[in-house]
Structure 1
Amino acid sequence: MLFTPHQFASLHLNNRIAMAPMTRSRTDQPGDIPNDLMATYYGQRASAGLIITEGAPISAVARGYAMTPGIYTEEQITGWKKVTSAVHQAGGKIFVQLWHVGRRSHHTIAGETPVSASAIKEPDQVFGPLPEGGFGMIETDQPRALSQQEIKATIADFVQGAKNAMAAGFDGVELHGAHGYLIDQFLRISSNQRTDDYGGSQDNRMRFMLEVTEAVANAIGANKVAIRLSPFVTEGAAQPDPEITELTIKALAKLAHLQLAYVHFSENISNYTQVPDSFRQQVREVYPHPIMVAGKYTVSSAQQILAQGFADLVAFGQPFITNPDFVYRARNQLPLTPVGDDAHSTFYGGGAAGYTDYATVTSA
C-alpha cells in the first residue's frame, strides 16, 4: 500500500510516503530567506508523495531556532517560490509547516521576550547564537503570557502565513501543533494555567488550536490544511500531560467536520510512550478522514500500520536526509545510506555538505 496513490478531496499524491518536517537552518541571512540551496534540497526529494517543509515561523516572535525560513515577509515568499517551483517541476507536492514555537525560544532569536499560554518556563534548549560567537544550543528565556488581544493577533498571523504560502505556490499548509510549541502549550496543563476562556477546562485549552485551524481553513480551504499533533510525545516539558490523549480525541471530534487534508501524529521521538491500538481505534471512530503518522517507521512497519487501517500516509524523516531517492530505494528494497555521526554534525546550519551532496542510486 505504501507505494499506491492517495487521493482525498483535491489532494492527489503519487504514493503514501511523506517527507517529514525537519529543521535544517540553511537560510540566507539576514532575513531568514529560503534560497537556491534549499530549492535543490527539496527538489532532490520530490519523489515523496508529499513533502512537508521544515517549520516556517509565522512572525518574528514565532522564531525559536536560528536561520529557520520564515513565511511572513515578501522576501521570504519570493525565496519559497524557488522551493515550490523545484518540487513541482520534479512532479512532487509540498506543504509548508506553519510554526510558532511559543516559549521554546530566546530573545536573541525571537527579537523580544518569548510568549506562551502562561508565563511558565521549563528547562529547555534551542539552536541559537552563542555569546562567544557562532551557533549552538542555548537555554530558553522566561516567557510572558499572551493577552487575549495578542491571541487574536497570533491567529491572524497563522492566517496570513497560510495566505503567504498560497502566494508562494505551496499545495497546502501543516499547522505545527506538536512537540511543546505554542499550540501544544495551550493544550497541556503544565504550560497553560490561564483562568480565562483559553485555560482551565479541556474545552478551553483546545480553543486556541481549534480557532487557529478553523481560521486557516476558512482562509485557504480546509482541503489545503493539515495539523500535526503529538499526544504521546513530551517535549519542552518535564512531565507528560495526564489529560492530553483524552483532550486530543475530543479535539479531533470537533475538527472532523472540516475534512482537513490530514491529521499528522508525531510518535516515537524524544520522551514518548508507545501509542496503543486503542487510541488509534478511537481516532478512527471520531475522525474518519486521512491520518498520517511519523516516528522512526521502517518500510515494513509503515506497510503494517497502513494495512491495519490506522493510517493513510506515513512520514519518514532522517532517511530522507541521507537518501534523497528514499522512495526509489524503498520500492526496490535497496540499502539505505545510514545516518551516521557525520550526518548528525550537519543537521543544523552549514552549506551543501551533508545537505544536497548525498548520492542517489542510478535507476536501470
Structure 2
Amino acid sequence: MPSLFSSYRLGELTLPNRTVMAPMSRVRAAAGGLATPSMATYYAQRATAGLIVTEGVQPSRVGQSNPGTPGLYTDEQTDSWRQVTDAVHTNGGRVFAQIMHGGRVSHHETTGLQPVGPSAVPGEGSVFTPSGPQPMPVPRALETDEIPEHVRSHVDAARRAVDAGFDGVELHGANGYLISQFLSSNANLRDDRYGGSVTNRIRFAVETVAATVETVGATRTGIRLSPGGGGIWGVTEDDAAELNTALLTELARFDLAYVHVEATTDEDVLVRLRKAWPGTLIVSPTLPGGPKQAGRAEADHWLGLGADLIAFGRGFLANPDLVERLRSHLPLAPADENTYYQGGDAGYLTYPTYQHTAA
C-alpha cells in the first residue's frame, strides 16, 4: 500500500505527497466575483498539500450559486486569480480551479436571473442570498438547444483558468450542482437525449469533459463525483453503481488527470468504481455524523482500497500545516463553523501552524 506521504505523478505534475486540499466554499470574493489578496494568502498557506483544488468558481452569471463566490467568466476575474496562482506556486504548491455551475442551486436575488436546471424541479432546502437564506425557487428547464451553451461556459472558464496560471481544472459533477443534476434520477426528468436512460443522463457530463479536454488538455482536466448523490440539495441517483460505472467507462477514453469521488455511497460500490476507472482516483472520505475530521486512519483505509490520492476538507480549514500534522501524528485543530462563510480574515487566515512546546 502506498504511503500518504510518498510522491505521485499526476499528469505533468509531480506531487510531493498524496494529500489533496478538497474544494470548500469560503465566500470571500470581492464584488464582481474577484479573487482577493486574502484568498492568495489562504491558498498559499496550504501549499504543502500535494494538490490544492479551489472553492467552486462559477463559469457564468447564471451559474453562480451563492453570494460572495468567485468567477472565471470576465477578464477582470481572470486577472484577479493570477495573484492566487502566483502565491501558491511561489510557495511550491500546485493548484486546480474547481469549475462549479450551480444550476438550480441558486436564486434570482443573487444573480438577477432565474436559475436553470435539467428540469423544472426545485432543490431541497434553502440557498444563501444577499438577504439571507431563501427556499430554492423552481428552476427554468433548459431547452435542448440551450445545453451546449452551458457546456461552453465550463470550457471557457477552463481556458481562463489556465490563462490565470492554474495547473488544471476540476469540473464539479458532484453535490447536487448542474452536472450532478443531469446525472440525477430525481432532478432530471427530461425525455430528450439528455434524460431518461443512463446513457442520456451521463451525456452532459461526458460532453463537458470532452470539450474541456479538447480546449485545455486531458492532463489539466479532472472531475468530481458524488456517487448516489448523497442527498445533497435533494439530489439522488437511484442507480448509482450502473450510472457511475457507465460514466467512468465513457470518461476512460479521455485519459483525464483524475476522477475525484466522495464516499457518498456504499463502500462496495466505490470499490467497484475503482475497478472501472483505470486512471488516478482521488477519494474524499465521508464520515458518519459529519463534522469529525478525516485523518490518517481514514486515508490509509482508502489507500488500501485502491485510492491514489486522499482529499481532506475540514482538516485543511483549521490546519494550514495539515500534511506535517498528519505525518508527525500531531493533534488537529478544530475549525470554527461560525466563520466558514462570514467573510473577513478571522477564521480564514488566522489559524496557526502547530506550536511545539519545550519538553
5+ residue gaps, structure 1, are 131-135
Count of aligned pairs between the two proteins = 347
Per-residue deviation at 1:304?
2.2
Match of 1:154 among 139, 145, 150: 150
Residues 1:74 and 2:75 are matched in the alignment: yes
Q: Provide the rounded CA distance (Å) in 2 between the counterparts of 1:141 and 1:284.
A: 36
Match of 2:201 among 200, 205, 222: 205
Per-residue deviation at 1:73?
0.9
SS, match of residue 97 in structure 2: strand
Of 118-127 and 175-184, the range deviating more from structure 2? 118-127
Match of 2:341 among 348, 352, 363: 348
CA RMSD of aligned residues (A): 1.5
Does the Cα contact within 8 Å between 1:292 and 1:313 map onto a contact in 2?
Answer: yes
Match of 2:317 among 317, 321, 329: 321
Percent identity over paired residues: 44
Match of 2:217 among 221, 228, 245: 221
User: Could you report, residue by residue, the CA deviation over 1:279-318 in whole angstroms, capped at 9, with x for unpaired residues?
Assistant: 2332233211110011343211201221232x00000011
Does the Cα contact within 8 Å between 2:183 and 2:237 map onto a contact in 1?
Answer: no
SS, match of residue 185 in structure 2: coil
Match of 1:138 among 134, 140, 145: 134
Per-residue deviation at 1:244?
2.7
Does the Cα contact within 8 Å between 1:43 and 1:90 map onto a contact in 2?
Answer: yes
Q: Provide the rounded CA distance (Å) in 1 between the counterparts of 2:295 and 2:59.
A: 32
The match for 2:40 is 39
The match for 1:180 is 176
Does the Cα contact within 8 Å between 2:11 and 2:220 map onto a contact in 1?
Answer: no
Does the Cα contact within 8 Å between 2:227 and 2:240 map onto a contact in 1?
Answer: yes
Alignment of 1:212-291 (within 5 A): 212-232=208-228, 233-237=230-234, 240-267=236-263, 272-273=264-265, 275-277=266-268, 279-291=269-281
5+ residue gaps, structure 2, are 288-293
Q: Provide the rounded CA distance (Å) in 2 between the counterparts of 1:64 and 1:334.
A: 36
Paired letter, 2:351: Y
Paired letter, 2:64: R
Q: Provide the rounded CA distance (Å) in 2 between the counterparts of 1:363 and 1:83.
A: 29
Q: TM-score under structure 2 normalisation?
A: 0.93
User: Could you report, residue by residue, the CA deviation over 1:197-243 in whole angstroms, capped at 9, with x for unpaired residues?
Assistant: 111111011100000001101110011100000013121117x3321
Per-residue deviation at 1:245?
2.5
Match of 1:20 among 19, 22, 28: 22
SS, match of residue 339 in structure 2: coil
SS, match of residue 205 in structure 2: helix
Match of 1:359 among 334, 345, 352: 352
Q: TM-score under structure 1 normalisation?
A: 0.92
The match for 1:84 is 85
Per-residue deviation at 1:110?
2.4
Q: Provide the rounded CA distance (Å) in 1 between the counterparts of 2:164 and 2:112.
A: 25
Q: Provide the rounded CA distance (Å) in 1 between the counterparts of 2:109 and 2:241.
A: 34
Paired letter, 1:330: L
Q: Provide the rounded CA distance (Å) in 2 between the counterparts of 1:263 and 1:252.
A: 9
Q: Provide the rounded CA distance (Å) in 2 between the counterparts of 1:52 and 1:349.
A: 21
Per-residue deviation at 1:362?
5.4
Q: Provide the rounded CA distance (Å) in 1 between the counterparts of 2:10 and 2:57.
A: 25
Paired letter, 1:115: V
Does the Cα contact within 8 Å between 1:187 and 1:244 map onto a contact in 2?
Answer: no
Per-residue deviation at 1:11?
2.5
User: Could you report, residue by residue, the CA deviation over 1:233-278 in whole angstroms, capped at 9, with x for unpaired residues?
Assistant: 121117x3321331011110111111111100122xxxx54x223x
SS, match of residue 329 in structure 2: coil
Q: Provide the rounded CA distance (Å) in 1 between the counterparts of 2:184 and 2:83.
A: 37
Per-residue deviation at 1:179?
0.7
Does the Cα contact within 8 Å between 1:104 and 1:124 map onto a contact in 2?
Answer: no
Residues 1:304 and 2:301 are matched in the alignment: yes
Does the Cα contact within 8 Å between 1:45 and 1:325 map onto a contact in 2?
Answer: yes
Of 291-300 and 74-83, the range deviating more from structure 2? 291-300
Per-residue deviation at 1:154?
0.7
Q: Provide the rounded CA distance (Å) in 2 between the counterparts of 1:257 and 1:183.
A: 19
Q: Provide the rounded CA distance (Å) in 1 between the counterparts of 2:299 and 2:249.
A: 25
Q: Provide the rounded CA distance (Å) in 1 between the counterparts of 2:351 and 2:238.
A: 42
The match for 1:108 is 109
Q: Provide the rounded CA distance (Å) in 2 between the counterparts of 1:85 and 1:59.
A: 24
